[in-house]
Structure 1
């Protein structure tokens, strides 16, 4: 089997890999367009002269301005943290699909509040609206990965969940370029900075409308006893008849997992909390999922996303227009490489290998950037707008860091968290993962301006060190999950050593599937023989 070949847990009909699962994943992933757009547009919008002048930024001291910018950015992440946990309740009671309706509507209300802000009213509507919008995206960030993973065949589950990351990058691409376009085509005005805030409503509106078309998760329907609708949705998603052997096996796996859940912890709202509290193995998996987002944010990505003008200024890029252009190119590189990650790497090269390669390469780039700033001190040469050869090399290493980070830590932690929890704790596990993402995101976004003020080049050394530490974490603690059915994740995470767990479990599943099919064929042959004997007796009697 080649390195870039799909790994299937069992023989899979081609019909399973149909356009419907990709379309459902794409519609749901407009939620990540909302998130990606915000992470990109807010930093450059705060740097617009029109926004800065309207809210009195030039009159503020450096420390006060850093605090105001940090608050504007970080209240969004604070709202998202709580939205992640609100989503656990909504997905339990009303399902995945209707939860997307609710949280996209909450986001629309919050984004609409932003449009009422102006210099006379102050920043209150922006603060309040961003908290509300944060709750909306926090809920969506919990719902979408688990929804997609429950619809996906194992062999392409990483790619399907990866569409969520692709949506993030497309939203980010628009967000990185929009203010550059506005500075080139519009004079500074109130309308100039309102436009990027208004664009947030587009992906939210598409998600709200698209959620009318997508199907509810068959897994969730089966847990609620809605078997007829679950089978109807599963047949539609897989484009297979109900009696197809692939569907029979899939439903049998889901039913077995649900029965195991009922026997082990029950199906009540608080049961997963109780299961986590009394099971150290489950607690360990929650810890691993949360730590992945610590290392993701420890790479420096959200410092760059939210404060890209500050980052490029520290490297030596001066001027609003030039800074916005450089930021826009950063968005193009991220989006282009995300396509490679999605279609060629995540379900072929695997999760572990991508994370370790990305962290090692990204760390080396960060070490160079820190050393360049320490030696050249670009902030002391603001009068010289032309980059030196070492400055050009610094820009190259920044984009090289992007090339290492994007196909590794950008989306892979979401993929692993969407698939690593068992049926008993999957919804709570995804809520925990999303909350961890937003918590560490909040920490970085809240303190990045102060870090650049006090640490300067040390910021890059800090992120470089964290990336090296993440390699050790992944190598010893995170097993490869590609191609493993969701129902076999317990077995995978209990198999030791971690680096060999994937190969061991894959072989066990292959043997198990052969036995299942052999038994099924034997049962079918027995029925055929019985029917043949009955026909002979009937013919003889006649």
Structure 2
């Protein structure tokens, strides 16, 4: 009880300016969620299918799967150059102005998409959307990690991952509501829900006017006084407060140490330092493996293709599939919120991820077994009570797959990325990892439709067994190699990801001096 009281007391550190940061940068994660939730159901809407010929008779099964995956993955493809744009802009004009620019990019892409008249315009609009949405994955975790007090850093960065499921839930329910009230023959059935993205981007753009630039970015630009004032406003203390002077001093010490090790000049210098230092390469390899294990463990594919997967387990009727999918999004949102607010800082990163991965493995194993047994049944009807009850259990397990991901990988992956790299190469390192993250999302998004085909592929049962195996590998890797960083300062956490547990921190250097 005492521990819970201490945890709740941390909410007092959530000042007005930090709340603005949480609303603006934290809720920017909803961009990817909105797209995933909306497009997952949009491509299943009869009006969209008919307008863009997704089920045309002249297409083979693999061609239909490719066309579907091209539409769903185009935002991920646009996110790759988007992450590079975020890196270039953040280095020059700062994180805050880069954030405003990508909100405008997202709005432009959404307008192009919802006014589409042919498949080419669909691709173009979603690619431009990706250019905007892809930048959030670089900026938001960095910004939230840099402005948050260490005691609530996990919660603030976790809000970015949580808000992805807020977006998914809104997207699912928007499409479901439109499918009920708008006829299948009208393009408004998918256009109106998609317009939610324009409204969301506009709200984020307005909210950014109340935010402060990152104090650590200001230190990198040799503006320590501006950094002190920014941090004072963020934490709602006097610029003379000893705490913020220690925080800025630690940042300056780390920057000085990094500049003594490598003399950097511009973009080329940053990249040389990132790839030419053994400790940075260890960080990159570590986070790359975690990102790969997380993305290929399956839950994001379950989210993207939820209506089709619910159909595998006996949910009939388009409206019923969409409603079940919408509830699925709501469940994931609730548990992602629980993880971000109550678990990541209270239980720690490792324990929270263990809980999520164990649930994920159990649920995926059940569904894999169900699909293996059900696909081998020949004379037994789906109306058989035993089969029907087992199918209900499989549907419940789909929900637990989402719960496991929401508690574990969903928030932790962004937090680990934000904590891994030292300040001098943080934006470059996070950009590189984000590119890898998006590349894996493209791969799994395009592969899943082909993996689920009944012929010349893994089939549904093989796909779920593959996801189960990847989740087990993720659990094993986490158990062996993931350090616990809860309660550590941001200038301390990056030492832990190199395996150099005895490494000095800026605080230690200052004490020694």
Q: Normalization by structure 1: what TM-score?
A: 0.87
Question: Where does residue 480 of structure 1 map in the other structure?
Answer: 484
**1:385 Cα deviation (Å)?**
11
Mark the CA change 1:58 to 1:495 in structure 2 (over 3 Å): closer, same or farther.
Answer: closer
- Is 1:26 the counterpart of 2:17? The answer is no
Following the alignment from structure 1 to structure 2, what is the Cα–Cα distance between the partners of residues 234 and 269? 27
- Aligned equivalent of 1:526: none
For 1:171, the equivalent position in structure 2 comes to 167
Match of 2:469 among 465, 469, 493: 465
Structure 1, 143-152 or 194-203: larger mean CA deviation: 194-203
Residues 390-401 of structure 1: pairs in structure 2 closer than 5 A: 390-401=390-401
Residue 263 (1) aligns with residue 260 (2): yes
Q: What are the residue-to-residue correspondences of 1:208-227 with 2, within 5 Å?
A: 208-227=205-224
1:419 aligns to what?
419
Q: Distance in 2 between matches of 1:159 and 1:13?
A: 10
Aligned twin of 1:342? 340
Equivalent pair of 1:4/1:349 in contact (CA under 8 Å): no
In structure 2, C-alpha distance between the alignment counterparts of 1:139 and 1:337, rounded to whole Å: 25
Change (3 A) 1:196 1:434: same
Note if contact 2:251-2:491 (Cα within 8 Å) is conserved in structure 1.
yes
Describe the superposition over 1:278-306 as per-residue Cα deviations: whole angstroms up to 9, x where unpaired: 21221010111122221111221221121
Cα displacement string for residues 477-518 of structure 1 (whole angstroms, at most 9, x for unaligned residues)? 22111111111134323556xxxx5xx88xx989969x95xx
Alpha-carbon distance change, 306 to 400 in structure 1, aligned in 2, over 3 angstroms: closer
Deviation (angstroms), 1:361: 2.5
Query: Aligned equivalents of 1:13 and 1:439: distance in 2?
Result: 37
Q: Distance in 2 between matches of 1:430 and 1:315?
A: 39
1:233 Cα deviation (Å)? 1.2
User: 2:162 aligned with 1:158, yes or no?
Assistant: no
The alpha carbon displacement at 1:3 in A equals: 6.5
Alpha-carbon distance between aligned partners in 2 of 1:57 and 1:220, rounded to the nearest angstrom: 46
Cα deviation per residue 1:382-418 (whole Å; 9 max; x = unaligned)? 9859971111111122222222221111111101111
Tell me, yes or no, if structure 1 residue 228 matches structure 2 residue 225.
yes
- Is contact 1:365–1:400 with CA below 8 Å preserved after alignment? yes
Distance in 1 (alpha carbons) for counterparts of 2:199 and 2:167: 10
Change (3 A) 1:156 1:138: same
Is the 8 Å Cα contact of residues 316 and 382 (structure 1) preserved in structure 2? no
- The equivalent of 1:103 in structure 2 is 102
Inter-partner Cα distance in structure 2 for 1:330 and 1:412: 21
3-state DSSP of counterpart to 1:117:
coil
Given that 1:173 and 1:331 are in contact with CA atoms closer than 8 Å, whether structure 2 keeps it comes out as yes
Give the conservation status (yes or no) of the 8 Å contact 1:314–1:379.
Answer: no
Q: Following the alignment from structure 1 to structure 2, what is the Cα–Cα distance between the partners of residues 378 and 99? A: 54
Higher mean displacement: 91-100 or 420-429: 420-429
Does 2:122 match 1:142? no
Which residue pairs with 1:297 in the alignment? 295
Match of 1:440 in 2: 440
Equivalent in the alignment of 1:90: 89
Contact 2:151 2:345 (8 Å CA) reproduced: yes
Could you give the per-residue CA deviations for residues 6-54 of structure 1, whole angstroms, max 9, x where no partner exists?
A: 69xxxx9997442321221211233211111001110111111111112
Structure 2 unpaired stretches of 5+: none
Partner of 1:127: 123
Q: Would the aligned equivalents of 2:54 and 2:68 in 1 still touch at CA under 8 Å?
A: no
| Residue of structure 2 equivalent to 1:355 | 353
Change (3 A) 1:255 1:124: same
| 2:176 maps to 1:180 | yes
Structure 2 residue matching 1:482: 3-state secondary structure: coil
**In the aligned structure 2, how far is the partner of 1:360 from the partner of 1:467?**
9
1:257/1:423 contact within 8 Å kept: yes
Aligned length: 502
Aligned to 2:32: 35
Tell me the equivalent position of 1:113.
112
Q: Is the 8 A contact 1:33 1:168 kept in 2?
A: yes
Following superposition, the deviation at residue 130 of structure 1 comes to 0.6
Once the two structures are TM-superposed, the CA of residue 376 in structure 1 deviates from its matched residue by 1.8
Whole-Å Cα distance in 1 between the matches of residues 376 and 263 of structure 2?
Answer: 61
Query: Does 2:236 align with 1:239?
Result: yes
Report the CA distance between 1:204 and its aligned residue.
1.0
Q: Structure 1 residues 457 and 2, CA, compared in 2 at 3 Å: closer, same or farther? A: farther
Once residues 509 and 80 of structure 1 are traced to their aligned partners in structure 2, the CA distance between those partners, rounded to angstroms, is 34
For the residues of structure 1 that align with 2:209 and 2:507, how far apart are their CA atoms? 41
Using the TM superposition, give the Cα deviation of residue 270 of structure 1 relative to its aligned residue in structure 2, in angstroms.
2.3
> 1:69 & 1:442 partners in 2: Cα distance?
13
Return the alpha-carbon distance in structure 1 between the equivalents of residues 50 and 381 of structure 2: 22
Tell me which of 35, 43, 48 is aligned to 1:46: 43
What is the TM-score normalised by the length of structure 2? 0.92
Q: CA 1:483 to 1:335, structure 2 compared with 1: closer, same or farther past 3 Å?
A: same
Is the 1:366–1:461 contact (alpha carbons within 8 Å) kept by the matching residues of 2?
yes
Aligned partners of 1:111 and 1:201 also within 8 Å: yes
Which ranges of structure 1 fall in alignment gaps of 5 or more residues?
Answer: 521-542
Q: For the residues of structure 2 that align with 1:416 and 1:160, how far apart are their CA atoms?
A: 13
Note if contact 1:16-1:238 (Cα within 8 Å) is conserved in structure 2: yes
In structure 2, relative to structure 1, the CA distance for the partners of 1:17 and 1:34 (3 Å cut) is: closer
